[in-house]
Each structure stands twice: as C-alpha cells, then as structure tokens.
Amino acid sequence: MASGRSDRVPQALKILIAGGFGVGKTTMVSSVSEISPLRTEEVLTTAGADTDDLAGVEGKRTTTVAMDFGRITIAPHIVLYLFGTPGQDRFMFLWEELAAGSLGAVVMADTRRLADSFNVIDYFERRGTPFMVAVNCFDGVKSHTATQVRHALDLEQHVPVVLCDARERESVKEVLITLLEYILKSGGKPSSNGHAPS
C-alpha cells in the first residue's frame, strides 16, 4: 500500500553520485540541485598531469577534491541530498565518510572510459550499498545501449542501467527516481556503519 510504503522511508535521503574522473558528477549535481551546489573544485594543475587522465574530457579545467553537495525535492515528502564523490582513486580514503548513512548510489559511467567505473562498482558491491549505473551520453550521443553497458560492466540483472544527459535536469531527475524505486525494492536501509542520514 502506498501510504505504508512512505511511512517507512525517511524524509531526507542521502544519495551518492559516484564514478570515475571527468564522467559528469559535478555537472549532474549542479543541473538538478535546488540550492547553489557546494563545490570544492580546484583548478587542475600540471602536477596532476600524470595521474589525471583527461582523454575524452580535454576541456576539463577543474576537479572536485572533496565533494559536491546538492539537494532536490523529488516528491512532496522526499528530499534527496546528493553527495558527489571525488573521482580520482587517490581520494577513495574519503569515501567511507561520504558513504556513511547513504541509502544508495548512482555510478556514472562514460562509455569511452568504462574501465574507470570498475573500482567504484566494486566498492558498492562489497559495501552492500544499492547502486545503479547512469551512462552520461556526452553530447547526446547514445553510442551504446544499456544492455551493452550492463554486459561490459558484468552487472547483475537487478542493477538498473540507464542512459542520461548530466546537463539536463529532467534526465537527471529520471535517474534519481529510478534509483529511489530500486532502493525501495531493496528494502531502503541506510548504509551499515551506524551513521544516520543527516
């Protein structure tokens, strides 16, 4: 019953927006947030040139060093707090703090650099956090189908895979609704390390 279902869901839900470097996480949080997104971007410097692979995102001038934060009211009684994670592996030590109390995660993927998603997917699988994959179609080019991406990433059948445009608010809302429905199906419990959503 719909009313019973909403009773079980906390009003403020913490969602992670994760994925490799330059995949569109900051863009996604910015395009959907009702508040000015908190960003912690730093200008990319030559010092990071060996570590930060810019192939495919040559126009990228900044990088997220701690997190992006945004908020969206997705239904009258459901507010999502979005936490974008830093993309580079060297910041993964921050993830446990970010993941605390989260209900689920969107793993963004770029089909030109799909291998960048493996670590992230592995992290959520090990943690038992419900996640979905959102393929950011740069410039609207749907070069692969969701089914192809599912196979390439070796995802289980129940993991939602959708194509999206991180710059489009409606597209991002669809992604978040897909994740929310998936979380509800999976039981909707906050991530396991004892922190409540804040």
Only segment of 56-64, 102-110, 171-179, 185-193 that touches Mg ion (CB under 5 A): 56-64
One of 14, 16, 17, 26 touching Mg ion (CB under 5 A): 26
Pick 102 or 136: Cβ nearer ligand GDP: 136
Pick 18 or 190: Cβ nearer ligand GDP: 18
Pick 133 or 155: Cβ nearer Mg ion: 133
Beta strands in 38-125 (DSSP E): 41-43, 62-64, 68-75, 78-84, 104-109
> Around Cβ 168, how many Cβ atoms within 10 Å?
16
- Report the site for Mg ion in 6-25 (rule: CB under 5 A): 25
One of 70, 87, 130, 190 touching ligand GDP (CB under 6 A): 87
How far lies 20's CA from each of 56, 115, 189, in Å? 12, 9, 26
- Report the site for ligand GDP in 127-186 (rule: CB under 6 A): 136, 138-139, 165-167
- Give residues with Cβ within 8 angstroms of 101, minimum separation 6: 14, 190, 191, 195, 196, 197, 198
- Coil/strand/helix, residue 80: strand
Q: Which residue has the tokens 């959503």?
A: 197
Residues that bind ligand GDP (CB under 6 A): 19, 21-27, 57, 59-60, 64, 87, 136, 138-139, 165-167
